[in-house]
């Protein structure tokens, strides 16, 4: 396994876990919050998609996908308290966008050499993620960071343990 394969395997594992947690949730379930002060699942999914797109663009300009108009703005820090389902997407819309942005990310991963991965990250990321490779690994693991917030929602909704 080479570096690119390892990063892809990591991203695929994150995606698998996240998709398993989402597969039996309804659109209405996506508006559930794991606890007070936490973001609902719909916002988290939009955040994951927008973030991946922005992070990908930061290390490989011109490689991100075009998100629907206003999508990133509907999933930013200012909208974390919004509980109006009309302002968010359906589960299928989120899944479709995930598929598109992941395809773009996978395409970029396949083109990056080890030397490319060692290049400095954009300046504003460098304190936590010093290289392009660190940013790509952040993309690959970001879904797992949020998956833990979905489990309490699943428990609250009486959903079965899937992993």
**Choice between 163 and 136, residue whose per-residue pLDDT is larger:** 136
Predicted TM-score of the model (pTM): 0.95
Q: What is the mean pLDDT of residues 56-72?
A: 96
Q: Are 48 and 42 in contact (CB under 8 A)?
A: no
* CA distances to 5, 51, 68, 98, 108 from 111, in Å: 12, 21, 26, 20, 5
Q: How far is Cα 117 from Cα 115, in angstroms, rounded to an integer?
A: 5
Residue 53 pLDDT grade (very low, low, confident, very high; cuts 50, 70, 90): very high
Pull the structure tokens for residue 41: 């699942």
pLDDT for position 80: 95
Q: What is the mean pLDDT of residues 59-69?
A: 96
pLDDT for position 96: 98
Give the number of other Cβ atoms within 10 Å of residue 81's Cβ: 10
Residue 61 has, within 13 A of its CA and on its CB side, a CA count of 2
For 142, phi then psi, to 5°, come to: -60, -40
Residue 128 pLDDT grade (very low, low, confident, very high; cuts 50, 70, 90): very high
pLDDT for position 144: 94
Q: What is the mean pLDDT of residues 125-146?
A: 96
Domains of the chain in sequence order: 3-156 (1.20.120.450)
Q: What tens digit of pLDDT does each residue of 93-121 get?
A: 999 999 999 999 999 999 999 999 999 99
Q: What tens digit of pLDDT does each residue of 7-25 get?
A: 999 999 999 999 999 999 9
């Amino acid at each position: 396994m080479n570096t690119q394969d390892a990063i892809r395997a990591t991203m695929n594992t994150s995606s698998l876990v996240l998709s398993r947690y989402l597969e039996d949730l309804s659109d209405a379930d996506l508006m559930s919050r794991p606890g007070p002060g936490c973001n609902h699942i719909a916002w988290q999914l939009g955040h994951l998609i927008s973030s991946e797109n922005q992070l990908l663009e930061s290390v490989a300009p011109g490689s991100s996908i075009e998100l629907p108009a206003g999508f990133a703005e509907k999933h930013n820090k200012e909208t974390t308290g919004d509980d109006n389902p009309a302002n968010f997407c359906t589960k299928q819309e989120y899944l479709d966008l995930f598929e598109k942005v992941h395809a773009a990310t996978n395409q970029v991963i396949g083109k990056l050499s080890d030397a490319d991965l060692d290049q400095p990250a954009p300046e504003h990321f460098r304190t936590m993620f010093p290289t392009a490779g660190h940013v790509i690994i952040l993309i690959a693991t970001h879904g797992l960071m949020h998956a833990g917030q979905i489990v309490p929602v699943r428990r609250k909704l009486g959903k079965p343990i899937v992993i």
